[in-house]
Every structure is written in C-alpha cells, then in structure tokens.
C-alpha cells in the first residue's frame, strides 16, 4: 500500500476550500460541476439530532450496481415490515455512477433532492468539497452504529480529517474470471495465472484448444473507461499513474504495461476489446477469461453455461502482491434536506448495512459484505468463488491519486487506454499527452485549493 508524504495525504486533498472545483474543468472531464448554490446550503450536518423525529417518507437514489435493484427492493420491503414510521422509495437515478452524479448535481440547482444517494469511489469527495453531503458522525452517534464492526479499510475510504462522509455499501475488487473447461482443454492448471507474463505464455494453448473463441482474454469495453482494473497491470510492472500528485503516467514502467496490453491485441493476439460488456462476452464463451468486478460474480455465474473459476489478479514482472485496487460505492446523505429527512435516511442506511442485510446483499450480487460479523457461510456454500474476493481484500492497494483525486482523471486514463487498444495509438506519445491533461487538471483545479 502506498503512503502519502507528510503534510499532503489523501484526506488533505479533500480540504479544498471555496466553491469547489471549476465547473468548466469538471464538464470538460466528463463529470458534472458539484457546486451547490448558496441558497441550497444548510447547517443541518453539524446539528444535534437529539429528539429529531424521522421524516415519514424518503427517497433513495441508485443506479443499482451489480444488478442490485431486486435485492435492494427486498431489503426495503423488509425495512417496511420491521417498522412503520419511515417509508422508502427506491429511484433509478441513472444507468451508472456518472448519470447519478449528473442528476444529483441538477437537483442541487433547485430540483428535488434525494435523501440517500449512491456515491462511487471517484465521486464522493467532490460532493463533500462542495458542501453537498453531510458529515455522518452526529447521526452515527445518535443512532448507535456499530462502527467497529465495519471492515476497517472500506469504512476508512469515506473519511476526511476523522469525519465520516459515507458508509460502504456495494464494495468490490476486480477478480480474474476464467472458463475452467477451456483451461482443462488447453491442459492448464485449474488456477489463475500468477503473472500476466505467465498468462501470455498460456494464451497460445488456450487459442489452439478453443479455436472458436474471439481471443483468450477480453478487455473491458472502451466505453467503460478502464482505469480501475488497469491499475493492476501498471502496478505489476512497477509503475503508477501518479505518486501522490506527481503525475507519472508516462514513466517507462507504465509505457511497458500498456505496450504489453497493446501487443496482446495486435501482435501476440491474446487479447480483444469488448464491444459492450466484457463480463457478458466471457459468460457467452467468446473469451477464455476476463477481469471484472466482484459485483459481477452473481450475474456471470447465473449466465455462464460452464464452470467459472476465479482468482486473485495476476501480478507482473515487478510486483506479484498488493496489485489489486478496491472500488465500488457507498451511500451518503445530502446536506440541503431537513434534519428529519436526514435522520430517516440514516435510520434506513443503518438497517441496509446490518450484518444480516449486507450478507443478503452480498449473496444476491457478489459484492463484499461490509460488516465483519456478517455470516456469509451460506454465500460461500452456494458460491465458493465469493471467498476469493474476501481473501483478496487483504492484498489490495490504495488507488492512485490521478484516478480518484483529479476530477475526471479516471475518464481521461480510460480514454487513453482505449486509444491504445482500439486505435493502436503510439503508447509513449499517448501517455505523454495524458500526462499533460492530468497535470493541467491538477495545476488548475487542485493545487490552488491545497492551501
């Protein structure tokens, strides 16, 4: 795990003052401005919630990550059965995290705000910077959340200066998925490769033994902006998109990692780029393996007509451990709503992440249970592959600042990767261009706010 230099750390970035990051820069990077008008601001986040009666009705905005709409609604129904004071309405606020963010921003300008909203790993801090969500600590204390029972790393992902801004919910890591039948046909051991170089050695055997497949490995679709799982290869080659705020995406190590990817598509023919959904392509038998979220586990197991194997992400020539990033989403509460609505939202949020309910959510989706006391014996009995995701959690690494702290950084990295894989762009030149873009975002939109 990387460690920030003294004086500037992950949380310090979030201390950016003023109205937040410029709207022009954010829109240019594919994300919404998160500046809320002064009229929408409220001091409710620091209020004493003692004796505040919860609102009778609240709305919960989600994009249903991991096809979680059905289980989420079941948990809402269970919540209604457990009490009658609060009614929760689930709202589909977008098809992905970016669409939810855009809808949430629009609501900040005078629309109808939700009372609980999904916050992804690359969006939540923008809301906090711009005073759009509340510090949850007063509500956590008032409602007696069992904080110590949440998985520490996942809980800490939403902290700033010791304050909690969201609660982990649909959390994940990437996993290596492989078709056991194709592996067996190729005479390979029933395991994930230890390194990507080992996989490249296996690929000809997989292709020869399974000639009908598009390619042995299926890359994420260009439209999915692969910057998340791409960190795995970059770290395996000893590089990083950044070292704190020093942009290093054009280093020799990163160039070698992305050249390896490009050669795998055009030269060595072990890789192809999905047109839409790599997980779906894998499930359909178009590729022998892929890397995608643990949140896709249930969907893949339910769709695939073959025995699915999963394993830790492979390493590279420089690193074989701590090369897996965490990801996914948490849940936060808007600031510009009433204290009564905030209490109701926090009450429901506590219920959603109780051990029994996070276990049910995990069983239905494949996401990791966020509570250590959650009994997932039934999950592992039903899907032994789920244990791999939990075991891999102790081998994860903090994401590069360039992806999670620079507005739109994840998108810019993903576009560069797509150009390299689908347009056969010169790797060094494209990464040099990416460095200029990311450095500009940092210099113009982040550095001036560091104080």
In the chain, domain spans: 31-171+328-374, 174-325+399-449
Is the pLDDT assigned to residue 237 strictly greater than 90? yes
Q: Which fold has domain 174-325+399-449?
A: D-Maltodextrin-Binding Protein; domain 2 (3.40.190)
CATH of domain 31-171+328-374: 3.40.190.10
315 phi-psi bin (left φ>0, alpha ψ -120 to 50, beta other) = beta
Higher-confidence residue of 203 and 162: namely: 203
**In angstroms, how far is the first alpha carbon of the chain from the final one?**
26
Is the pLDDT assigned to residue 11 strictly greater than 50? no
Residues 234 and 253: their CA atoms lie apart, in Å, by: 7
The answer to whether 291 touches 313, Cβ cutoff 8 Å, is yes
Strand partners of residue 199: none
235 C-beta neighbours (distance < 10 Å), count: 27
Strand partners of residue 309: 178
Fold match between 31-171+328-374 and 174-325+399-449? yes
Higher-confidence residue of 411 and 24: namely: 411
Q: What is the pLDDT of residue 308?
A: 97
Residues 239 and 64: their CA atoms lie apart, in Å, by: 33
Strand bridging mode 174-179 / 308-311: antiparallel
What is the percentage of the chain residues whose pLDDT exceeds 70?
89
Higher-confidence residue of 402 and 38: namely: 402
The answer to whether 264 touches 424, Cβ cutoff 8 Å, is no
Residues 349 and 175: their CA atoms lie apart, in Å, by: 27
Residues 46 and 265: their CA atoms lie apart, in Å, by: 53
The answer to whether 13 touches 450, Cβ cutoff 8 Å, is yes
Question: What's the chain's Rg over C-alpha atoms?
Answer: 22
Q: What is the pLDDT of residue 232?
A: 98
What number is the average pLDDT over the span 336-347?
A: 97
What number is the average pLDDT over the span 434-443?
A: 96
The answer to whether 248 touches 326, Cβ cutoff 8 Å, is no
What single DSSP character describes residue 10?
Answer: H
Query: What is the overall mean pLDDT for the chain?
Result: 88
């Amino acid at each position: 795990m990387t460690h920030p230099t003294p004086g500037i750390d992950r949380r310090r970035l979030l201390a950016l003052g003023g109205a937040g990051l410029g709207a022009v820069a954010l829109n240019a990077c594919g994300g919404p401005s998160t500046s809320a008008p002064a009229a929408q601001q409220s001091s409710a986040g620091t209020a004493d919630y003692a004796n505040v009666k919860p609102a009778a009705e609240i709305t919960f905005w989600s994009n249903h990550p991991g096809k979680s709409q059905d289980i989420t609604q079941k948990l809402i129904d269970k919540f209604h059965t457990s009490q009658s004071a609060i009614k929760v309405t689930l709202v589909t606020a977008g098809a992905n995290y970016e669409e939810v963010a855009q809808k949430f921003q629009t609501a900040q300008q005078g629309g109808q705000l939700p009372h609980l909203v999904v916050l992804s790993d690359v969006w939540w801090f923008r809301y906090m910077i711009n005073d759009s969500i509340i510090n949850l600590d007063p509500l956590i204390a008032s409602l007696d959340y069992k904080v110590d029972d949440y998985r520490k790393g996942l809980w800490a992902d939403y902290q700033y200066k010791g304050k909690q801004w969201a609660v982990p919910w649909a959390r994940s890591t990437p996993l290596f998925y492989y078709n056991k039948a194709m592996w067996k046909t190729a005479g390979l051991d029933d395991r994930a490769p230890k390194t990507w170089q080992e996989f490249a050695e296996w690929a000809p055997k997989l292709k020869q033994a399974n000639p009908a497949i598009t390619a042995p490995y299926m890359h994420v679709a260009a439209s999915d902006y692969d910057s998340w799982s791409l960190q795995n290869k970059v770290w395996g080659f000893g590089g990083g998109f950044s070292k704190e705020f020093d942009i290093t995406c054009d280093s020799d190590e990163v160039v070698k990692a992305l050249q390896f990817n490009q050669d795998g598509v055009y030269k060595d023919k072990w890789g192809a780029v999905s047109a839409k959904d790599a997980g779906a392509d894998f499930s359909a038998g178009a590729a022998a393996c892929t890397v995608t979220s643990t949140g896709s586990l249930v969907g893949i197991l339910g769709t695939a007509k073959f025995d699915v194997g999963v394993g830790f992400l492979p390493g590279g020539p420089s690193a074989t451990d701590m090369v897996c990033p965490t990801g996914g989403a948490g849940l936060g509460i808007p600031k510009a709503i009433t204290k009564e609505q905030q209490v109701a939202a926090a009450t429901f949020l506590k219920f959603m992440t109780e051990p029994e309910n996070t276990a049910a959510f995990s069983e239905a989706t494949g996401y990791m249970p966020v509570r250590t006391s959650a009994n997932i014996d039934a999950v592992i009995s039903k899907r032994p592959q789920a244990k791999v995701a939990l075991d891999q959690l102790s081998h994860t690494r903090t994401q590069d600042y360039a992806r999670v702290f620079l507005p739109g950084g994840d998108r810019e990295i993903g576009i560069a990767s797509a150009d390299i894989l689908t347009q056969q762009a010169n790797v060094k030149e494209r990464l040099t261009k990416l460095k200029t873009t990311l450095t500009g975002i940092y210099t113009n939109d982040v550095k001036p706010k560091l104080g």
